[in-house]
Chains A and B, each alone.
Chain A
Amino acid sequence: MKRKLITLANSLAVFAALLALWQLVLWVFRVPPFMLPSPWAVTRAVGRRLPSLETAFAITGEEALGGLLASIVAGVAIALIFAQSRWIRRMLYPYTLLLQTVPIVAIAPLILMWVGAGTASVTLIAFIISLAPIIANTTQGLVSVEENMVHLFLMHNASPAQLLFKLRLPHAVPSLFVGIRIASGIAVIGAITGELYAGSSRVGEGGLGYSILYASSQLQTDYLFALVLAATVLGFSFFFLVMFFEWYFLHRWHESARTPEVE
């Protein structure tokens, strides 16, 4: 407990030092506020624009969450197909690599063209970008079951359904969570990037990415900083949400989840 308090005090001290440095730079170099607002100006912007920040946060949060959930459902389904045979994996796996390597900014205009501006496009972009890690990790979990475990099930005349639901799927859950953890981070990034292109069907109202674009075009740098802050908070919320579920489902039996620690 005492050690935790010391850790907390240390990180707060680092935070305060960074703020002080920031303020110092402003004074020494006489930076104009539209280039770099002061910490205090950013805090005021947060207070003043709280309702619109909340709206932008909620919109992006929904898009990222929608994309992530869809990629979990689709990713597990695809992984189940991949787990059927080595042959299928060899044939289809390169395409998931494609999914991972194609730059999202390159296909965003296409999606925008096909689906139209707004939430649907952005959710789709978040979905596409977070799909690959779910497929890869879940497939890994499904096929890495020990041979003797499979033999044990066969010895007791287990059906293919029993092998899947009582052995392969539960065995894949820790790997699935590794995938979700990676995907949750990039789903948020994907949603914000998506909004830069497909921001909003209404002018002046949209998610964090859209608002960042809007604020920068208006030189509202203090609000821009507030939006970046909100984006960081959103990323952290996703991370901790996934950590919580991982802990909830795994802490009783899995080694990795015994002490949830953020390294």
Chain B
Amino acid sequence: MKRDGTVPEVEFDGVTKRYGNGHPVLEAVNLTILKGEFVSIIGPSGCGKSTVLKLISGLTMPSEGTVRVDGMTPKNARETVSYIFQDATLLPWRTVRQNVALALELEGASSHRREEKTGALLNLVGLDAVADAYPRELSGGMKMRVSIARALATNPRLLLMDEPFAALDEMSRDRLNEEVLRLRAEQKWTAVFVTHSVAEAVFLSTRIVVMSPNPGRLYSVLSVELRQPRTAELRTATEYEELVGHVSRTLREARSQ
């Protein structure tokens, strides 16, 4: 715990990442994400947004500096972390129900607990009706719901999302954004969310990290102080639109850096 009473979930301390021996994709990143925050990372392509998530998950290691998750090394912290990818990454040979149960299965949960948890989650994300369908029968939005349910099955404290809604149409995306906020209000996880969409970042986040490219650096960190709970009506509020404008301008500056 820090002196001001806040607890860090993720800490980046002077993190630089190079692939091979070329230029760094990420340079001297210092960032602390507190428990309960919803932090969006936004920036032009090639600024190392996804690399940030890969570092937090321990799927890749920093070249310099340290990454801590819940005070541990990323690999040791994996038990409490779930990752949602841009494509739904469902196993096509498993039904929706079996896909949601996958993470629990890998962690060796009993079949009783698996069934109970899976049932509850399918209900939570509104997939009861298609529980026994195979992924190929689902729409893009539904596949993403399955992916979210699977990620939540292990009761994660930290959720990493890598442009999960980028491939969806705007209506599905908006609905899933609202869904994510509802789930977070119930389950209180911390989220790190990578996106291309300023509107999405503003709608979801408590803080927005704007990154600049070549090499990837933190350009600016913006607090989002919008009323809670956030609902669909927020999208038409002036304060929301002003913030979207502000973030867009910052993003433009970051790009021309």
Contacts and interface: CB of A to CB of B under 8 A. Distances in A.
Interface residues of A, number: 21
Given A253-B92, A253-B93, A148 B103 contact: no
A252 B78 CA distance: 33
A167 B78 CA distance: 19
A154 B136 contact: no
Contacts of B105: 166
A252 B134 contact: yes
A261 interface: no
Interface string A160-171: 001000110011
B70 to A, nearest CB: 15
A153 interface: yes
Contacts of A155: 57, 59, 78, 81-83
B49 to A, nearest CB: 15
A interface, over-half SS: helix
B72 interface: no
B89 A156 contact: no
A157 B92 contact: no
B253 interface: no
A170 B98 CA distance: 14
B107 interface: yes
Nearest to B103: A156
A153 B85 contact: no
Interface string A236-258: 00000000000000001111000
B83 to A, nearest CB: 5
B91 A170 contact: yes
A149 interface: yes
B94 to A, nearest CB: 8
Given A151-B59, A156-B78, A166 B134 contact: no
15 contacts: A146-B89, A148-B85, A148-B87, A149-B89, A151-B59, A151-B83, A155-B82, A156-B154, A157-B106, A166-B102, A253-B92, A253-B93, A253-B94, A253-B134, A253-B135
